[in-house]
Amino acid sequence: MFNDHHYSHTFCVALFFLLLSLIPRSTSLRFIGLTYSAPTATPLPPPPETISAALSTLKVNSLRLEDPDPTVIRTFLYTNVSLFLAVPNYLVPTMASNRSSTLRWLYTHVVPFYPRARITTISVGNAFLDSYPQSASALLPAITNLHLSLRDLGIRKITVSTSFSFVTAISTPFPPSSAQFQEPPGINLIGPLLQFLRDTNSSFLINVYPYNLYRLKSEIPLGIALFQEHPFNFRDDLVTGVRYRNLFDMMIDAVVSAMAVAGYESIPIVVTETGWPSSSTAANEVEANLGYAEIYLKGLVKHLRSGIGTPLLKDGVKEVYVYEMFDKKEGTSPSSRSWGVLYANGTTKYRIDFSSSKSNYLLEGSWINVALRIQ
């Protein structure tokens, strides 16, 4: 039988998260964008000039570039498209130990183009701890060096951060109120990083894949992962009394809770990757199909466009980037998945209204709207 101390503790936790949910947060106009990365499949996607022209025609505004190619960046000079750049993981240890390598990267990818190209954010690595766990101690020095190098160049409006994978960064995500950050073994990273983000007005970047968590947690109903609106599609956080009707919100609020526990609840959150695979070569991944991928993307866009945020983050996340623009081979493993919104030849897969208004774009056979402004 629970004692009075238990009830008191539970009440305090519930009160804490109730107050957290009422905290006003300053966020800019939210949008959903797409990731563009170099293809490994054929036929090749259109040249950068074609992508730029399509973005201009569709009045789109944001693109995340993995391992950015300067020729792609150049095509967005004097446009209204904002660019999010990512430093490849293999460069992070070098940037941590050598400021000159950081400056070389900036002189190749930023200095020739900024501010004529609207570069807004640089992520130092992407889920770096997953790929280079032995180099975890290099991550914060690399971020700091890049930030200081930008300041040395007189560039103060580009924010610097790094992205994490949800499943490795967050412990005990269910219920969301119980979530905390997982530190790399032997490294004090999260607290100093969050302090850096707060000091520099930067965002916390996280890859949020409901598909991956659904695969890991057999108790998660498929409908909740797919934004399906059914009467019994919900899960309750018994500590906070919050009812969740989709897995995306549960994952975001787990991040919010972890940040609050660490004492940094006011830092904006950016979802650097999300999506649902339209196919998989693994025989047991039957949920990776075109139908479910379209349902997920439509549900995501509808949810973000509603502006209702999450139970603990009333203004919602600052930005969301869908992974990814084109299909490509994700390695040679027997479980390779296709995440593209476009096929490798540039034609579209889905009938989804990606516009910011209620008018409908029928996108079959045309270039898709890569980013939209959520009004």
pLDDT attached to residue 62: 87
Q: Hey, what amino acid is at 12?
A: C
Interatomic CA distance for residues 273 and 207, integer angstroms: 5
Band (218; pLDDT cuts 50, 70, 90): confident
Band (39; pLDDT cuts 50, 70, 90): low
Q: Distances in Å between the alpha carbon of 35 and those of 68, 192, 214, 274?
A: 11, 28, 22, 10
Band (211; pLDDT cuts 50, 70, 90): very high
Band (186; pLDDT cuts 50, 70, 90): confident
Interatomic CA distance for residues 274 and 277, integer angstroms: 10
Closest of 309, 297, 314 to residue 225, by C-alpha: 297
pLDDT, tens digit, for every residue of 256-299? 999 999 999 999 999 999 999 999 999 999 999 999 999 999 99
pLDDT attached to residue 224: 95
Contact partners, residue 188, CB within 8 Å, separation at least 6:
none
Closest of 329, 193, 341, 167 to residue 255, by C-alpha: 167
pLDDT attached to residue 372: 35
Higher pLDDT, 354 or 23: 354
Contact partners, residue 219, CB within 8 Å, separation at least 6:
none
Interatomic CA distance for residues 85 and 72, integer angstroms: 11
Over residues 83-104, the mean pLDDT reads 97
Q: What is the pTM of this model?
A: 0.86
Asked whether the beta carbons of 363 and 354 are under 8 A apart, the reply is yes
pLDDT attached to residue 19: 52
Band (366; pLDDT cuts 50, 70, 90): very low
Pull the structure tokens for residue 111: 């200095």
pLDDT, tens digit, for every residue of 295-335? 999 999 899 888 889 999 999 999 999 898 878 865 555 55
Band (26; pLDDT cuts 50, 70, 90): very low
Asked whether the beta carbons of 216 and 152 are under 8 A apart, the reply is no
Interatomic CA distance for residues 118 and 28, integer angstroms: 16
pLDDT, tens digit, for every residue of 146-163? 999 999 999 999 999 999
Closest of 220, 319, 312 to residue 259, by C-alpha: 312
Determine the 3-state secondary structure of 100 from DSSP: helix
Pull the structure tokens for residue 327: 């299909």
Count Cα neighbours of 214 within 13 Å in the Cβ-side half-sphere.
Answer: 23
- When mean pLDDT is compared across 53-57, 157-161, 188-192, 320-324, the lowest value belongs to 53-57
Closest of 299, 317, 36 to residue 204, by C-alpha: 317
Residue appearing with tokens 């609840």? 265
Band (169; pLDDT cuts 50, 70, 90): very high
Categorise residue 227: left if φ over 0, alpha if ψ from -120 to 50, beta otherwise: left
Asked whether the beta carbons of 325 and 34 are under 8 A apart, the reply is yes
For the chain, the distance separating the N- and C-terminal CA atoms, rounded to the nearest angstrom, is: 50
Which domains, ranges and CATH numbers included, belong to the chain? Answer: 26-342 (3.20.20.80)
DSSP string for residues in 347-375: -B------SSSSS----TTS-----EE--
Asked whether the beta carbons of 148 and 96 are under 8 A apart, the reply is no
